[in-house]
């Protein structure tokens, strides 16, 4: 009889957003008359940009001809897209990224979950808290998390608290980790780091031989000056950082699926015999073994994002969602709530009122106002007492949600 990986048994029965979907489904069965407004899961709602649709149609037509047909493509991604990424995302910011260091995939979530396969079980992993659940759960699966702790965390993971008291900006680790996950702009808090603040992390990683896994999935939403869009804007980052990006949130590819990871040749980790080995060939070996590559038609669609029309359409998308973010921030503050984020990110992080725990506040919004959000505790121990809303709904529904909140009056009356 086959033996399972017992580390999977340590995980909760379902993923955070699956729990939310189950609760929402149960509510809908009881209250089919209620129009629910979903501001929870970070899925986009606007259609794909016109330039992307045109590129898709053209690529599909190519597949209908003997001359244009593409079968298996390079697991690392087609050269045309890797070059477009290097020239479109990095060169304008003064960053020289070799297209050969770019690996195209079907999404940043997959890359972030899979990259931990390159590390031994003995590695110490540090995460900001609260944090995107995939960072933690994938390391539980990889056997690095230890055992569940009483506060909802894990004994083998080093948590870097992000609270209102420290402005949701984590302090450098007190105990040296091997791997550090950073998400900036942050999911779920929506906060960012200024250039000097992020440089401290790069300097720490270089001095302590740590690896930074940098999730930049929301960089297109940065509005303020002085905030790096890529960790490679910082001196020395190409020695210690791997960067993950996605077409999902800026260009609407949540259903189309495309992302990429940058693994510079200069980023290394230590083998058991003490040798310093580059991670790039190891990731390449992993991908060529387990992955057949992002579809050709999807990569042509992603290439279109870098055309003049595509850039303008992506900016329009981002502007649309950030207008929603401002609407939510203003509406929640008018209701007397403490609100964070929503300035350089499509996420709004709020303190639950009256000492309510996160799931209780979820129920209050769902049952009282027909609004779906995400309990902060699902993002880690320091997420308890907080709640996340997203700006990815339609403007009509976002405004409708804020009208419901306004009509409910001050938060203290919501439960009534």
Q: Does 239 fall in a domain?
A: yes
Among 275, 307, 339, where does a domain finish? 307
> Do 100 and 26 sit in the same domain of this protein?
no
Across the range 100-116, mean pLDDT stands at: 97
Is pLDDT at 160 greater than 90 in this prediction?
yes
pLDDT tens track for 170-225: 999 999 999 999 999 999 999 999 999 999 999 999 999 999 999 999 999 999 99
Arithmetic mean of pLDDT, 386-392: 97
Q: What is the mean pLDDT of the chain?
A: 94
Contact assessment for residue 328 and residue 389, using Cβ atoms and an 8 Å cutoff: yes
pLDDT of residue 345: 96
What's the pLDDT score for residue 190? Answer: 95
Q: Does 31 map to a domain?
A: yes
Q: What is the pLDDT of residues 9-61, one digit of tens each?
A: 888 766 677 778 888 888 888 888 889 999 987 889 999 999 999 999 999 99
pTM: 0.96
Number of domains forming the structure of the chain: 2
Provide the residue range defining the domain that includes 94.
52-307
Residue 32 inside a domain? The answer is yes
State residue 410's pLDDT score.
80
- End-to-end alpha-carbon separation of the chain, Å? 55
Q: Can you give the CATH number for the domain in which 129 is found?
A: 3.40.640.10
User: Over 60: is that where the pLDDT of 416 sits?
Assistant: no
Same domain, 100 and 22: no
User: Considering the domain boundaries, does residue 1 fall inside one?
Assistant: no
Instruction: Dump pLDDT digits (tens) for 308-339.
Output: 999 999 999 999 999 999 999 999 999 999 99
Measuring CA to CA, how many Å separate 169 from each of 62, 219, 384? 48, 17, 17
- Given this model, what pLDDT does residue 341 score? 95
Domain-embedded: residue 228: yes
Note the pLDDT of residue 358. Answer: 94
Q: Which helix (H) or strand (E) holds 181?
A: strand 179-183
CATH number of the domain to which 368 belongs: 3.90.1150.10
Residues 201, 145, single domain; the answer is yes
């Amino acid at each position: 009889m086959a033996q399972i990986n017992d580390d999977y048994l340590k995980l909760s029965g379902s993923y955070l957003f699956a729990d939310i979907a189950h609760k929402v489904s149960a509510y809908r069965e009881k209250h089919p008359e209620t129009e629910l407004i979903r501001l929870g899961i970070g899925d986009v709602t606007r259609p794909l940009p016109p330039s992307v649709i045109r590129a898709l149609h053209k690529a599909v037509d190519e597949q209908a001809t003997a001359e244009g047909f593409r079968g298996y493509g390079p697991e690392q991604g087609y050269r045309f897209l890797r070059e477009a990424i290097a020239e479109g995302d990095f060169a304008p910011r003064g960053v020289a990224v070799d297209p050969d260091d770019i690996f195209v995939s079907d999404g940043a979530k997959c890359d972030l979950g899979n990259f931990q396969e390159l590390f031994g079980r003995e590695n110490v992993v540090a995460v900001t808290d609260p944090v995107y659940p995939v960072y933690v759960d994938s390391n539980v699966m990889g056997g690095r998390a230890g055992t569940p702790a009483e506060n909802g965390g894990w004994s083998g993971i080093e948590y870097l608290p992000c609270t209102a008291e420290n402005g949701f900006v984590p302090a450098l680790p007190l105990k040296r980790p091997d791997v550090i996950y950073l998400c900036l702009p942050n999911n779920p808090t929506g906060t960012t780091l200024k250039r000097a603040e992020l440089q401290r992390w790069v300097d720490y990683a270089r001095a302590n031989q740590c690896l930074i896994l940098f999730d930049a999935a929301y960089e297109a939403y940065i509005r303020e000056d002085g905030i790096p869009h890529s960790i490679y804007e910082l001196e020395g980052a190409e020695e210690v950082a791997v960067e993950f990006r996605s077409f999902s949130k800026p260009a609407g590819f949540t259903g189309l699926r495309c992302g990429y990871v940058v693994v510079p040749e200069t980023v290394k980790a230590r083998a058991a015999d003490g040798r310093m080995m580059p991670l790039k060939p190891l990731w390449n070996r992993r991908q060529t073994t387990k992955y057949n590559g992002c579809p050709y038609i999807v990569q042509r669609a992603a290439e279109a994002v870098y055309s003049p029309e595509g850039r303008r359409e992506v900016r329009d998308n981002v502007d649309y969602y950030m207008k929603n973010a401002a609407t939510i921030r203003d509406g929640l503050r008018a209701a007397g709530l403490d609100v964070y984020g929503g300035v350089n990110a499509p996420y709004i992080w709020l303190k639950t009122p009256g000492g309510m725990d996160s799931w209780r506040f979820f129920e209050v919004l769902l049952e009282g106002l027909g609004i779906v959000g995400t309990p902060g505790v699902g993002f880690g121990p320091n997420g308890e007492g907080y709640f996340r809303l997203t700006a990815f709904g339609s403007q009509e529904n976002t405004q409708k949600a804020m009208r419901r909140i306004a009509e409910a009056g001050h938060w203290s009356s919501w439960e009534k």
